[in-house]
Amino acid sequence: MVLSPLGALLLDELNINTSQFSSVVSAYAFSAGASGLLAAGFADKFDRKKLLLFFYAGFIIGTVLCASATSHSFLLFARIVTGIFGGVISSIGFAIITDLFRLEVRGRVMGFVQMGFAASQVLGIPIGLLLANHLGWHSPFWMIVGFSVIIAIVIAVYMKPITEHLKVKTDRNPFQHLYKTITAPRYLLPFAATALLTTGGFMLMPFGSAFSTRNLGLTMDQLPLLYGITGVVSIITGPLIGKYSDKLGRYNVFLFGSVLSMITIAIYTNFGLTPFWLVCLVNVFLFTAITSRIISSSAMMSGIPSMQDRGAFMSVNSSIQQIAGGIGAFIAGTIVVQTTPDSKLEHYDTLGYVTIGASIVSATLMYFVNKQVKPTPIAPIAPKPEGALSEV
């Protein structure tokens, strides 16, 4: 989220081409996917607090390296290091949520956590761009380091050890369990749908800021406002989309998001010089469509795995998302071309058509994935007295 909006700056500051920039974006995704996959079988062998702090410390070190980079090769190395540790953090976080919250309230907790992505647009991206515009592109990474150190201290001091899962003795080989999950026939279609869904979604993101400034005529000072507006809308629409996803049907909401995204992508990628208000309007519709697809597809995927495979399935699925995102960014770098440092991006419309094609295929796959979801009755939540939050 922090690197993609800096694309317009990095292309000039590091004197790199679009293919080199996409490699920097995809490097994090590839390393995060690989490390998440390798760590999936061992995530239940340690105190989750210690595991979280270990990988979070590595993530901070990797971000320090990003903030210190002065060349493309060093930034590429730094992104790989950051991804190795950052790729496991989300899996640990979801495991902690599963341990601490009852099934009946877990959906609401997941929805609250997912709002962090929208909040990162409202706060992280605009503030990061403002810092980059005035203090250089390294400054957003230093900002992340500062906040991350504070959060790490809070985790170390206030978070209690999470060790209940260690009381369950098992002789299961982590590698065998991981292999059986990856090769289970009923999971292959959901994994394929996740890969295609994420690949298409990540194609437009790496060059969004560069396209906005080079092709649409926006200034660097307008980008924070653009991302801020779309982020606020995402925070507002996210809970509503989750509500109607359960009410109207998850696949119906996913299909709505897919159709809306295809229409807006076809319009957006063919824009020339465009007024700021119109760019904002199209971006609002585009991010609403993306949010609809993410929330509804995540809800569908959560109903696929059996109880004994849930942890491994989610870890593998998360790794596939990271790797597929890296592939999408890499493909984007091979399609989009910038002939001179000051020229417009070329073939961005072609990238849009490829993304639309991926959306059509993913919508088809998700139709069959939805057929595999077995509805389960939702237990009513008994009212709790004040101060009973710890029982949740």
Roughly what angle, to the nearest 10 degrees, separates helices 174-183 and 310-335? 60
What is the identity of the amino acid at 83?
G
Question: What are 276-327's pLDDT values in tens digits?
Answer: 899 889 888 988 888 888 878 877 777 777 656 666 777 787 788 777 877 8
Q: What pLDDT sits at residue 38? A: 76
pLDDT band at 8 (very low <50, low <70, confident <90, very high): low
What domains can be seen in the chain, in order of their start residue? Answer: 4-160+186-372 (1.20.1250.20)
Q: What pLDDT sits at residue 377? A: 41
Beta bridge partners of residue 337, listed in sequence order: 346
CA dihedral 366, 369, 375, 376 (to 10 degrees): -110
Beta bridge partners of residue 346, listed in sequence order: 337
Token pair for residue 341? 């440092």
Helix, strand or coil for residue 337? strand
Token pair for residue 129? 């761009």
Q: What are residue 160's phi and psi, to 5 degrees?
A: -80, 155
User: Cβ(39)–Cβ(174) under 8 Å?
Assistant: no
Question: What are 157-191's pLDDT values in tens digits?
Answer: 998 888 776 666 666 666 776 777 788 888 889 88
What do you get for the CA distance between the two ends of the chain, in Å? 32
pLDDT band at 259 (very low <50, low <70, confident <90, very high): very high
Distance CA 118, CA 231 (A): 5
Q: Which of 352, 365, 237 is nearest to 295 (CA)?
A: 237
Token pair for residue 157? 């001091």
User: Cβ(211)–Cβ(345) under 8 Å?
Assistant: yes
Q: What pLDDT sits at residue 326? A: 74
Distance CA 388, CA 17 (A): 56
Q: Is the confidence at residue 383, as pLDDT, over 70?
A: no
What is the identity of the amino acid at 325?
G
User: Cβ(101)–Cβ(109) under 8 Å?
Assistant: yes
Distance CA 182, CA 159 (A): 33
Looking up tokens 């070190």, which residue turns up?
Answer: 61
Distance CA 247, CA 319 (A): 30
Token pair for residue 274? 């465009």
The whole-model pTM stands at: 0.71
Q: How far is CA 250 from CA 159, 198, 367, 375, in A?
A: 35, 18, 10, 11
Burial 20-59 (b: 16+ CB within 10 A, else e): bbbbbbbbbbbbbbbbbbbbbbebbebebbebbbebbebb
From 102-116, 216-230, 247-261, 353-367, the region with the lowest mean pLDDT: 102-116
What's the burial of 100, exposed, middle or buried (CB within 10 Å: 0-12/13-18/19+)? middle
Q: What pLDDT sits at residue 385? A: 44
Distance CA 279, CA 274 (A): 7
Q: Nearest-5° angle of CA 91, CA 92, CA 93?
A: 90
User: Cβ(299)–Cβ(248) under 8 Å?
Assistant: no
